[in-house]
Structure 1
Amino acid sequence: MGISSRFWRRAGLIISTLILAIGMLPIGPAAAAPKDKANSKLLADAKENGEKEFRVIVVRSSDAKKVADKKAGKLAKDADEGDRNADKEVEGKGGKKVRELNKLGFVATVKGKHLDKISKHAAVNFVDIDAPMIPPAIDSTTLKPQGLEVAYQRTIGAADAWMAGITGAGVGVAVIDTGVNAALPDFNAADGSSRVIASLNFNPAAQYVADGYGHGTHVAGIIAGNSWFNPTTALQGKYIGVAPGAHIINLRTAADNGASNVSDVIAALDWAVANRLTYNIRVINLSMITNASGSRKQSMLAAAVERAWFSGIFVVVSAGNIGPNTASYAPANDPFVMVVGAADTKRTPGQSDDKIAGWSSYGNNEEGKARPDVVAPGRWIPSVLSSPSSVLGSRYSGRVMDPNYIWMSGTSMAAPVVAGAAALVLQAHPEMSNDELKWLMMNTSVPLAGEIGSGVGEINVTNMLNYTGTVGKANDGEQLADFLVGPDGLVSYSTSSWSTSSWSTSSWSTSSWSTSSWSTSSWSTSSWSTSSWSTSSWSTSSWSTSSWSTSAWSSTSSQSTASQSSEWSFVDIE
């Protein structure tokens, strides 16, 4: 089912008005930019480790002359407004620029002893840590596969939706991860075409968009895999994802060793927002968290996921796998996402015996809000294996169930169960907003009695699709991240007014993260270079070399100096 024009008109209004407050401060009676110009934990760490090199995101202030020239029509509407004196300040302190981060700012490495002074420079709006991203841990125990293949789909009621013709057809789900092996038949459509409808790489250290690691392909298979298209008869119908008709948008953010940073993920999130209409991106799956705890109010990653949320994209994130009192890692500490913990289904189709997995993260975030929101099956989850020679295929060969299928455990696996469920509901109800879908998902979940850390319960697709009451809205009254402002500078979200025309574009302030700066045209195929994106790395013929320009992504933006600082760490869990 195609998405309704009414939804996108409403979502378009929100994104055309919601902006990130990192350029000019909002005009009006209100709350403005962050009180501090740097992440407080970053500054504390830098003070203690003056000679240590920190990888940071530097947000430029707006250049007054550029802003004036744009208003006068002397510069393009999507021109960069940033004050480049920020770059000179960093380099003058011995720092090294690693990469540009869209029009927002740049990533750099700089010694801790200089960070406080850099953050106070007039050309610098904010400095945040570009922390490594880590996926939740993965189970390494052995298990006999009998009866495992379809247990989790039946547990949440996905199979009932399929019987009703609801498969997530046409709904775009962006997988921000290690890549997706789009050549596998599990991602085919009935006509033989691939349901992986776009593939891009946002990690300068990665050479291709496919998945040599295996994590992203496994996640994508849980969302939308369909082994009915496997040419091996014995495997047909044996391994099915939650929404086997959904489209996958492969946004690779990890290097070949699985390493990734916040800036890579922000770049992918921004692309998804800019291209949401082109690919009908209604859901984003993020099976990863940062390795740096802290307030989401001061997190650029939190601001980026919130911006995606208010752009009409339902953002699903894994809670993490480090147990109790661990709810302070972005983006799993944010209210404008669906935070998912892992349930142990005991390999049965019913939910009455389900428990929270002992390693699933939970607790209160820095604002005192409980996380996760819900749980979903996350233990012993079978899905597509990118390749037997992939990192996961080699490292966990004992979990391979059939050729190109492997089981894993973790909230990395629970999150895509929810992402797939969201795609099912959005096919049936394309007019539904993110806040309505979150409310519906939470209010139809099955409580796990006595299970601390299970949120409101385990999701149930059957309950969602059969719900006949009035659908409410989640997140009312929640505070925005410090980098987001609303009409007249408001920083508190109201579900009753944000979906109406009373939030007009004229009441929003301007900044370098305005809609004009992050439009589809500025992230179109014409802005990607053929030199860094070879034709051999694309899985479909629709991405030809003739559609990629050589100007925007020069070799200097893809240097090896942008390689990531650490490998994703996998901790064995049961």
Structure 2
Amino acid sequence: MKRRWFVLSNMGPWQRRITTIVLLALLVPLISFAPVSHLIPRAQPALLELAAEQPDVLAQVIVRKVAQAKPVETEVVRLGGQITRSLEMINGFAAILPAKQIPVVARLDGVAWISLDAPVVSSACPKCPDAGTITSAYIQTVGVDRVWQEMPNMARRGLAVAVIDSGVANHPDLGFTAQRNSRLRVTAEFPRSPTTAGDRFGHGTHVAGIVAGNGTASGGRITGVAPMVNVINVKVTDDSGMATMSDLMNGLQWVYENAQRHNIRVVNLSMNSVVEESYHTSPLSAALELLWMRGIMVVVAAGNTGNSGIYPPANDPFVITVGAADDRGTSNPADDVVADFSSRGTTIDGFSKPDLVAPGRGIVSLLSSPDAVIAQESPTNVQDNVYFRMSGTSVAAPIVAGSIALLLADEPQLNPDQVKARLMKTARPMASAGAGAGMLDAYASITSEEKGNANDGIMLSQLLWDAADSPIYYNSRAWTSDGSWTSRNWTSRSWTSRSWTSGAWGQLETWTSRAWTSQSIISRAWTSMSIQSVGAASE
């Protein structure tokens, strides 16, 4: 079969700084796995195709090992590969490997699956609004203002939301002043290349402000959804907003290991892979399911490709996938429509996405610095040098994440499955296609007594099975009193890592932009163009 190439187009100027690559589309159907056999190469079909057509290029891959299998890293090195990081969360590792050796590694007895270590980016909205109005109506649109008025203690301190993104800068709206301690409690950084402190790019700070900004710098005019919650800054990109799947997974590993210590109940991920694939073969989907089963809410942006596909992790059936709505700058639900750029449709595995929508056009939130990349390339969107206007599903997702923080402050005993069911049950139906259950209604979700479960009977990612012929199906009755999920088929000891340490990453020298050269698949297979960012400035 001839390789097919696809391009995401119509991006704005600053998105071209994120990365310049063409999408190698891996149109992978739900693969019907046979029991493990050394005769069958267990790898994404496009990787095997690459090995046949361009055997001498270097491929960045993620290798998932069979649980309890002997190490295969030594064999990978013997074949000319280089281990770049340990991914203990999924019992695997990332590596750079000569393409011709991919079929060899894929037949090793200890290998369960090989995936491309694909770029993970924030996707840009192709038709963004201008900076005409000063503030957003989204607080009223989703009913958060009513929550504040009727239940003022709902936004209490203590609960934390982890923002997996380009970093979060200290900002007055996050409580950072000379008189106050910041609610930006922890910073954990995982990009491979050296980065400046804080958030040079600007995307992550904007997202964090939607979750938790308190309006200090605007006199209360511009606020986030849950202005008293703590923010955990998990930085996974470089200063230009670039990351790969393994960068992201290292950040998720840290959350997995430190969630209890920092009371992390919600993770916001406004980023998507550029490779469309089954959730059964995506290491990123598997990692997020592990967080979900540990009692951590996972909120992801649907992406901004319209009807052109649902990319990991938005395709995972367990997580809450959030699309973007246009509230027309009013609090009147009658004029709300699904934004044309918002990704929608049926995944490769047959699941309809998104699960619901939230406002995603013209959202004003925090600016990390007037020198941030997004500010320099879209200066008309800067407001008072401390705020910025952006659109996309990446600004819709944190509205949902913040609303979940409010809900969990009221009902901390709810597990992720119950929260997802509650939000979908109380969402306001919309006539527009691609709205899922409808528009988020934070007030209704908090005042509801709905006790349903959203994911009963759904199969977990096949990368989490003990063996290829041992499927695991979600059963809501398996939640334990400590807030984690268990089942007779679920061997959590296979996935909990030893004490996490950066020393487990291997001995690869520090990654820089020079690594994206003609010697690697990243530049050989992908040529110059711009990738969409889940949240983007106006053009």
Same fold, TM-score > 0.5, yes or no: yes
Residues 284 and 135 (structure 1), Cα distance of their counterparts in 2 relative to 1, 3 Å cut: same
What are the Cα deviations for residues 295-322 of structure 1, in whole angstroms up to 9, with x where unaligned?
Answer: 1101111100000000111000000101
Q: Distance in 1 between matches of 2:380 and 2:229?
A: 30
Correspondence 1:272-291 to 2 at 5 A: 272-291=255-274
Note if contact 1:439-1:472 (Cα within 8 Å) is conserved in structure 2.
yes
Residues 325 and 276 (structure 1), Cα distance of their counterparts in 2 relative to 1, 3 Å cut: same
Residues 168 and 345 (structure 1), Cα distance of their counterparts in 2 relative to 1, 3 Å cut: farther
Q: Distance in 1 between matches of 2:235 and 2:111?
A: 29
- 2:410 is the counterpart of 1:459: no
Instruction: Report the aligned-residue RMSD.
Output: 3.0
1:51 counterpart letter in structure 2: D
Q: In the alignment, what sits opposite 2:239?
A: 256
Residues 160 and 555 (structure 1), Cα distance of their counterparts in 2 relative to 1, 3 Å cut: same
Q: CA deviation at 1:252?
A: 0.5
Q: In the alignment, what sits opposite 1:268?
A: 251
- 2:229 is the counterpart of 1:246: yes
Q: CA deviation at 1:38?
A: 2.0
1:246 counterpart letter in structure 2: V
Residues 123 and 465 (structure 1), Cα distance of their counterparts in 2 relative to 1, 3 Å cut: closer
1:308 counterpart letter in structure 2: L
What are the Cα deviations for residues 529-566 of structure 1, in whole angstroms up to 9, with x where unaligned?
Answer: xxxxxxxxxxxxxxxxxxxxxxx378935523696658
Q: Distance in 2 between matches of 1:447 and 1:203?
A: 40
Match of 2:333 among 316, 339, 351: 351
Please give the TM-score of this superposition, normalised by the length of structure 1: 0.78
Note if contact 1:197-1:249 (Cα within 8 Å) is conserved in structure 2.
yes
What are the Cα deviations for residues 237-281 of structure 1, in whole angstroms up to 9, with x where unaligned?
Answer: 021001111111100000112110110111111111111111111
Q: Distance in 1 between matches of 2:181 and 2:36?
A: 47
1:337 counterpart letter in structure 2: V
Q: In the alignment, what sits opposite 1:221?
A: 209
Q: Distance in 2 between matches of 1:136 and 1:207?
A: 21
Residues 506 and 413 (structure 1), Cα distance of their counterparts in 2 relative to 1, 3 Å cut: closer
Q: CA deviation at 1:60?
A: 3.9
What are the Cα deviations for residues 13-43 of structure 1, in whole angstroms up to 9, with x where unaligned?
Answer: xxxxxxxxxxxxxxxxxx9779863233433
Q: In the alignment, what sits opposite 1:569?
A: 531
Residues 256 and 568 (structure 1), Cα distance of their counterparts in 2 relative to 1, 3 Å cut: farther
**SS of match in other structure, 2:290:** helix
Q: CA deviation at 1:112?
A: 2.2
Q: CA deviation at 1:485?
A: 3.7
Identical-residue share of aligned pairs (%)? 37
Correspondence 1:289-300 to 2 at 5 A: 289-300=272-283
Please give the TM-score of this superposition, normalised by the length of structure 2: 0.83
Q: In the alignment, what sits opposite 1:98?
A: 84
Note if contact 2:478-2:485 (Cα within 8 Å) is conserved in structure 1.
no
Q: CA deviation at 1:366?
A: 1.2
- 2:465 is the counterpart of 1:514: no
Q: In the alignment, what sits opposite 1:538?
A: none
Note if contact 1:205-1:255 (Cα within 8 Å) is conserved in structure 2.
yes
**Larger mean Cα displacement after TM superposition, 431-440 or 115-124:** 115-124
What are the Cα deviations for residues 443-478 of structure 1, in whole angstroms up to 9, with x where unaligned?
Answer: 1001111x111111010111112213x420101111
Q: Distance in 2 between matches of 1:509 and 1:460?
A: 34
Match of 2:464 among 455, 472, 484: 484
What are the Cα deviations for residues 397-419 of structure 1, in whole angstroms up to 9, with x where unaligned?
Answer: 11112221010000011111111
5+ residue gaps, structure 2, are: 1-33, 517-521, 524-528
Match of 1:383 among 365, 379, 385: 365
Match of 1:438 among 384, 395, 420: 420
Q: CA deviation at 1:187?
A: 0.7
Correspondence 1:466-545 to 2 at 5 A: 466-468=447-449, 470-485=450-465, 489-499=470-480, 507=488, 513-515=494-496, 517-518=497-498, 522-523=499-500, 527=501
Note if contact 1:343-1:376 (Cα within 8 Å) is conserved in structure 2.
yes
Q: Distance in 2 between matches of 1:465 and 1:189?
A: 29
Q: In the alignment, what sits opposite 1:15?
A: none
**SS of match in other structure, 1:352:** helix
Match of 1:176 among 157, 160, 164: 164
